Chains A and B, each alone.
Chain A
């Protein structure tokens, strides 16, 4: 039982990342009708905002220490971060330690700006073009962004740990009435789940309860009529693009302590997030979120060894974890023509 609950937690955690990326992707589909292959790259840029903040905070000056030697036998160059020099070693180290949460503040304006620039500078010209052209241009953009990051940060993953306060794990089982030490879960993964729940709730309430959101939703349903009413829908759509970019970026920032970021992490998530969006149904925000969590949980259970063994021994399907997502996608799309909650006529041609 406790093992199953652990897998549910794992699934929710994986699902949070899928859901956040898929949410942004659907916002862009739904509002602008653009197939954005660069969305994975936005997730990656978010993650590298965290890396950048960590680097900025650890900017150091160099002093030569004659007593120590470096690998060539020369006097060692000791690097002391400026923040440690300014605020004292204790406070300075604590600031660096908190670089991932601090990166959130930094990432929001950056991601909004990236989103605005992308939309105004490039995507805007592709509204009326065919989806094929949108794919090619955004895929090209994704490669360019990825290569730029690779150029500055290298291809190797970069460790960006969570603050010390959130390291280690927490006895989740004891909290919900299990024996102690049966369900232990890392703090930061719980933080990630809570964070994504807040973001998802935020986006939904923004669209539901604000006038701005209502106009956007109306625009998603019928762009021309809203335009005829004299509302500048384009500007609002630009803002929505920025928000979608920020959602992807924040998902990336918060993801860095879970897995060290590298320059191609966006591509790793790109295909999966498209599957999530489509399984959820084109044009449906709740569908994207639902599908994200569903696929996350199914993936976790498929990689759980008793279930894996069951599939191998009884259904002759070894390594079900390799294919589960795609298998589920096929089954859902064949039984529900427009995914879980898709709207009629969106991207069906």
Chain B
């Protein structure tokens, strides 16, 4: 289907279902229950899952295929966001021009940085990209304030021209009148599920981005990039210049980052300079490694994992903990709360750091490998039974 083989089609369908059913999947607990704290199915976080998914998928096209580790990808995300907000300020709140511009600007920016940085490889390349991104951040935060609004972040003011803003159209980011932040809430008994326009817009773009990345992986171009990763020297000896290929990969992944940045601004019309800081570039590296470098679905999982911790664990405070463990005897309750509060709320970084270590120690291939191991374990047990009855087995993925 769609030019994919059977396995890839299954993966794509799986991701499509995951994305479309996310409002249900992410809100498994009733709204009033104590476990509702772990629900992630509210518009902002779902949008972030999809957007950072795009960012990480794009990053993986560069890092996973060519092995070039860019430490400055956040710069492309940042310029994407700034372009989109500028389109809001100049034209109108319709997100289409902004998103198109963000991809183009990020692509051009990536072309420039990539052209220079790709003259070096290995860690020298990483530091070059880092240097460019840090310069962009420092300048955006201070000197370029007239363009970026510095510390405060670029936002739309009522006195901005907005030349194309027609009288009737909504005064918030919209897609030809469909307001991004509008949410339909479905209450089913004790549960409630949010269906947000913005999320579905991001999710559809993420699915397209994911589909394209599968096609790139399976194309001769992808094969060429892999060859660069495994042995660039040999490629050069065959008289073939690899730079155009790596540059193309760099620009493509920069455009993905720009798209993510544009979407971030379209969901929430503010672009902050921190988006370009090295920590943001480091975050997408971590997402990709955590999920599984070079796997198709890994980056999406990694992005979801990190954003989940940032948004859910940081919000658990000791009052919440007390309400969970209120059934315990007081001394025990206090002890349990005292231990747990190191890992949540202000301590969410600690949990994240520990999980980074645990994942990389026990699952060298990232979360994808974890999933495969688990699947293999389940299929093995399942197929053991089946063997007796039908005798047919299905190879694990």
Contacts and interface: CB of A to CB of B under 8 A. Distances in A.
Judged by CB atoms under 8 Å, the answer to whether A and B touch is: yes
A131 B116 CA distance: 23
Nearest to A275: B127
A235 interface: no
Contact of B131 (A139, A147, A275, A337): A275
Interface SS of chain B: helix, strand, loop or mixed? helix
Contact of A136 (B119, B143, B278, B286): B286
Interface string B126-151: 11101110110011001100000000
Nearest to A348: B122
Interface string A138-173: 011111101110010000000000000000000000
B353 A147 contact: yes
A271 B350 contact: no
A227 interface: no
Interface size class of B (residues with CB under 8 A): 35 or more
Contact of B360 (A137, A282, A326): A137
Nearest to A331: B131
A294 B359 CA distance: 39
A278 interface: yes
Contact of A348 (B63, B121, B142): B121
A323 interface: yes
Contacts, number: 129
A133 B360 contact: yes
A129 B365 CA distance: 11
A297 to B, nearest CB: 18
Interface string A106-132: 000000000000000010010001111
Interface in A310-331: 318-319, 322-323, 325-327, 329-330
Contacts of A296: none
Contacts of B289: 132-133, 135-136
B120 A137 contact: no
Contacts of A322: 135, 138-139, 142-143
A125 to B, nearest CB: 7
A330 B356 contact: no
28 contacts: A122-B357, A122-B361, A130-B293, A136-B360, A137-B360, A139-B353, A140-B355, A271-B134, A275-B127, A278-B123, A278-B124, A282-B124, A319-B138, A322-B135, A323-B134, A326-B130, A327-B131, A327-B135, A330-B131, A333-B124, A333-B127, A334-B116, A334-B120, A337-B120, A337-B124, A339-B124, A348-B121, A349-B122
